[in-house]
Copies of this chain bind each other. A is one copy, B any other.
């Protein structure tokens, strides 16, 4: 029995420095895993389409994990050597990547933001953000990734309408006619972020995170997402309320997650 402390920061270092070598010494072969990361599909839909023989197998194993809008499929195999284990699991990884290709944003990447930064780097692209309801969360998630300074230089948190007008160049007439939470404002925010920074991709979010500020036409959870690039601008309407009592931060997180996913798609399309 190996006992480890609870705080992940302490546990992880002890595990890699002490426990892993100990386990290797004890033998028993090698356990290798690959993780497919999916966005935009629910856990139950993934599970429904998984071949039952994969879920029931003892080696290799397929495990399904869900967290908010993200799903992870972990494929693990045990064998005497790493190469043998890889030979067991790679065909299954490839099969699942093909089956869920619309939703898989990466294999063995830790997060959407890491996949985005990696993709931007590989293509020498840059991104800039303009945020209203998420208030800096999107920028914070991008800059959480080491080396993100290569791809991210400018982020604007335009909570006030005056910030949208003065910094991002949103037109007064757009705000007056359509409101701050609208497809039109989101589009001008994304274009503004792109133009202000000279980045290849501008991504914008404006919405109603609640708990106040909702109306029948624009309820809490309505978020407009816009992406601008040399391909022009496109938008997406999100309805993120799940009816929980304290869901402001859930709405903000989900809005940022959707923006990361759309920005990643845009980066891939800009090759």
- What residues make up the interface of A, taking CB atoms closer than 8 Å to B? 9, 12-13, 129, 131, 134-140, 142-144, 146-149, 152-160, 162-163, 167, 196-197, 210-212, 244-246, 248-250, 252
Contacts and interface: CB of A to CB of B under 8 A. Distances in A.
A159 B155 contact: yes
A193 to B, nearest CB: 11
**A interface, by DSSP: helix, strand, loop or mixed?**
mixed
Copies in the complex: 2
A84 to B, nearest CB: 30
B167 A162 contact: no
A212 B149 CA distance: 11
Contact of A144 (B138, B156, B167, B248): B248
14 contacts: A9-B244, A129-B136, A134-B140, A136-B136, A136-B137, A136-B143, A140-B140, A143-B252, A146-B248, A154-B158, A154-B159, A155-B155, A155-B156, A156-B157
Contacts of A129: 136, 157
